[in-house]
């Protein structure tokens, strides 16, 4: 027994010392991890700022590209207009060339007709010359034939010759004049058509020169803008890749933060489990000590009973206990017929009749050392009041305190229920000294 006490004493002294260093190491661990998280979050913020700057640059480049495309479309529209003008000019040129061909044909026809008329005139002139010669020969042999009143037949014949000769000449002259006039009109038309053709050709040549200049300028402009567009598109692609890289870095940093947070959570869980393990070990040590003391008390009480002494001799004065509920006291401490099993069993507490949900108060100040569901007792709370004294509250419907919580006398620690082995809502209340149940009625003002 002394050896056991020494072990418990040494354990109680060593345990606080053993936990000092791990606690400091844990604090350092959490501080380092938190600093690492903050550093990575700062880096994420910097990357996001870079990303926003890239997005602004990409937007500007896209706007430039839109302006370039609009300018190219405008020049293309102008070139299309010029091309339509050229097409119209070519159409006009074709019409003028047709007119020129027609005019040239008319000139040729007129020239051919003039030649024919010339030949005809020459023939007439030859004929006329013969007639004139004959006429004048007759005159030679008949001097003053117009002045003489000779043979009337001769005079008539002479008059016929004169009239006939004059009529033929006039006809020929009229025909020749008309031919000359037609020929002149045709020549003038052909000349006018030729002038129009030359003007149209000049206009077309000027338009073609202008078109060539515009096309050359457009090609240069297109080449420059294609180069600019390629540069802009390349810049946009680079910025998009940089944004993707930043997103990847941000994702990696966020993943690192999650991993660190998971590590922190695992460490906290390990610490919690370690703390629970230490508490369980401490609770087991405390319960072992209580059990040892209870066994000693039982042995001492048995010895006192054999000697005829009272069972409360040498028991220290308990704390002042407060009535835990307002209900009436019922089944008391000692042997009784169990209301469920129907057999005689020892009843280690005092029952109070109450309604479900009525508040339950701490009978004295202390530390909550148990909050759990126990077979038979149902939802149970045990409070340690120091000096070996504890109180137990059973069959609760709901807890209002937690493990290791400090409570003051009169605090609401739970609510009346009917959990565990119970025939109805009530509070089963126990007072224990070093684990041994005592009659609660002796410590309450009932």
The per-residue pLDDT for 66 is 80
β-pairing, 436-438 vs 344-347, is unpaired
**Confidence band for 164, pLDDT divided at 50, 70 and 90:** low
- Look at residue 430 in the predicted model and tell me its pLDDT: 95
* Least confidently predicted of 140-154, 243-257, 268-282: 140-154
Say whether both 137 and 213 belong to one domain. yes
Q: Do 33 and 144 fall into the same domain?
A: yes
Mean pLDDT of the chain: 77
Residue 277 and residue 390 in one domain: no
Max CA separation in the chain (angstroms):
223
Whether 344 is in a domain gets the answer: yes
Q: 301 vs 215, 297, 335, CA distance in Å?
A: 123, 6, 19
**What are residue 360's phi and psi, to 5 degrees?**
-115, 130
How many other CB atoms are found less than 10 A from the CB of residue 291? 12
* 208 shares its domain with 336: no
Q: Are both 150 and 73 inside the same structural domain?
A: yes
Instruction: Judge whether 322 lies within some domain.
Output: no
CATH number at residue 372: 2.70.70.10
Return the pLDDT at 9: 39
Dump the DSSP string for 60-124.
Answer: HHHHHHHHHHHHHHHHHHHHHHHHHHHHHHHHHHHHHHHHHHHHHHHHHHHHHHHHHHHHHHHHH
Cα atoms in the Cβ-side hemisphere of radius 13 Å centred on 383: 32
The answer to whether position 376 is within a domain reads yes
> Where is average pLDDT lowest: 125-134, 143-152, 247-256?
143-152
Rounded Cα gap, residues 390 and 370, in angstroms: 11
The answer to whether 419 touches 381, Cβ cutoff 8 Å, is no
Q: Give the pLDDT of residue 112.
A: 77
Q: Quick check: 363 and 337 in contact, CB under 8 A?
A: no
Predicted confidence (pLDDT) per residue in 2-57, tens digit: 343 343 333 443 344 344 455 677 778 888 888 888 888 888 888 888 888 888 88
Report the share of the chain in percent with pLDDT over 90. 17
353 and 209 within one domain: no
Cα distances (Å, whole numbers) of residue 373 to 11, 14, 201: 30, 33, 113
Does residue 323 lie within any of the structural domains? no
Instruction: Mark which of 314, 336, 358 sits at the end of a domain.
Output: 314
Q: Is the same domain home to 340 and 303?
A: no
Average pLDDT over residues 170-193: 75
Is residue 319 in a domain? no
**Higher confidence at residue 87 or residue 130?**
87
pLDDT tens for 92-141 read: 777 867 877 776 777 677 677 667 766 766 776 676 667 666 655 655 55
Asked, for residue 300, whether it belongs to a domain, the answer is: yes
Are 332 and 268 part of one and the same domain? no
Whether 220 is in a domain gets the answer yes
H or E segment to which residue 191 belongs: helix 152-306
Q: Which residue has the higher pLDDT, 172 or 122?
A: 122
Do 32 and 131 share a structural domain? yes
pLDDT digits (tens, 9 = 90+) for 299-333: 765 665 565 544 444 567 788 898 999 888 888 88
Distance CA 169, CA 182 (A): 20
* Environment class of 396 (CB within 10 Å of its CB; exposed 0-12, middle 13-18, buried 19+): buried
Confidence of residue 344 (pLDDT cuts 50, 70, 90): low
Q: Rounded CA gap, 17 and 381, in Å?
A: 31
On whether both 256 and 370 belong to a single domain, the answer is no
**Cα atoms in the Cβ-side hemisphere of radius 13 Å centred on 325:** 29
Q: What is the DSSP string of 275-289?
A: HHHHHHHHHHHHHHH
Q: Are residues 267 and 339 in the same domain?
A: no
| Residue at which a domain ends, from 314, 347, 382 | 314
Q: Is 362 left (phi over 0), alpha (psi -120 to 50) or beta?
A: beta
The Cα–Cα gap between 183 and 234 comes to 74
Whole-model pTM over 0.85: no
pLDDT of residue 155: 60
pLDDT at 415: 98
Question: What pLDDT, on a 0 to 100 scale, did the predictor assign at position 116?
Answer: 73
Mark which of 288, 314, 340 sits at the end of a domain. Answer: 314
Q: Which domain holds residue 12?
A: 1-314
The structural domain count of the chain equals: 2
- What are the angstrom distances between the C-alpha of 200 and each of 205, 207, 391? 8, 10, 124
C-alpha 179/C-alpha 177 separation (Å) is: 5
What six digits make up the tokens of 424?
A: 């109805």
Same domain? For 278 and 349 the reply is no
pLDDT at position 16: 43
Q: What distance in Å separates the CA atoms of residue 118 and residue 111, rounded to the nearest whole number?
A: 10
Classify residue 108: in a domain, yes or no. yes
pLDDT at 247: 85
What's the pLDDT tens digit per position in 285-306?
A: 876 786 677 567 667 656 655 6
């Amino acid at each position: 027994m002394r050896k056991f006490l020494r072990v418990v004493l040494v354990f109680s002294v060593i345990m606080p010392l053993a936990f000092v260093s791990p606690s400091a190491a844990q604090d350092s661990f959490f501080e380092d991890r938190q600093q690492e998280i903050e550093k990575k979050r700062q880096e994420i913020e910097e990357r996001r700022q870079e990303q926003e700057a890239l997005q602004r640059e990409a937007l500007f480049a896209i706007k430039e590209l839109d302006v370039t495309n609009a300018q190219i479309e405008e020049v293309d529209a102008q070139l299309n207009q010029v091309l339509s003008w050229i097409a119209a000019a070519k159409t006009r040129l074709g019409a003028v060339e047709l007119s020129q061909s027609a005019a040239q044909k008319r000139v040729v026809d007129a020239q051919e007709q003039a030649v024919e008329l010339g030949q005809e005139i020459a023939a007439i002139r030859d004929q006329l010359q013969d007639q004139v010669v004959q006429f004048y020969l007759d005159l030679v042999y008949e001097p003053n034939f117009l002045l003489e009143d000779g043979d009337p037949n001769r005079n008539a014949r002479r008059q016929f010759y004169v009239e006939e000769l004059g009529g033929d000449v006039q006809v020929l002259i009229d025909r020749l004049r008309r031919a000359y006039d037609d020929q002149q009109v045709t020549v003038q038309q052909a000349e006018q058509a030729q002038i129009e053709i030359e003007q149209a050709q000049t206009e077309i040549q000027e338009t073609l020169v202008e078109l060539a200049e515009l096309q050359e300028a457009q090609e240069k402009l297109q080449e420059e803008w294609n180069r600019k567009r390629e540069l802009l598109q390349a810049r946009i692609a680079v910025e998009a890749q940089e944004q993707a890289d930043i997103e990847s870095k941000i994702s990696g940093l966020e993943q690192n933060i999650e991993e660190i947070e998971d590590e922190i959570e695992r460490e906290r869980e390990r610490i919690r489990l370690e703390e629970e393990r230490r508490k369980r070990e401490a609770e087991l040590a405390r319960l072992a000590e209580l059990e040892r003391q209870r066994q000693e008390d039982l042995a001492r009480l048995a010895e006192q009973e054999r000697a005829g002494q009272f069972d409360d001799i040498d028991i220290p004065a308990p704390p002042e206990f407060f009535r835990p509920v307002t209900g009436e006291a019922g089944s008391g401490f000692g042997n009784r017929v169990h209301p469920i099993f129907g057999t005689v069993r020892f009843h280690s507490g005092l029952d109070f009749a109450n309604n479900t949900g009525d508040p339950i108060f701490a009978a004295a100040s202390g530390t909550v050392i148990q909050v759990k569901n126990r077979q038979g007792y149902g939802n149970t709370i045990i409070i340690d009041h120091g000096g070996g004294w504890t109180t137990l509250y059973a069959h609760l419907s709901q807890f209002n305190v937690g493990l290791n919580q400090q409570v003051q006398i009169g605090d609401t620690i739970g609510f009346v229920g009917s959990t565990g082995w119970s025939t109805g809502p009530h509070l089963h209340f126990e007072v224990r000294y070093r684990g041994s149940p005592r009659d609660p009625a002796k410590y309450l003002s009932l």
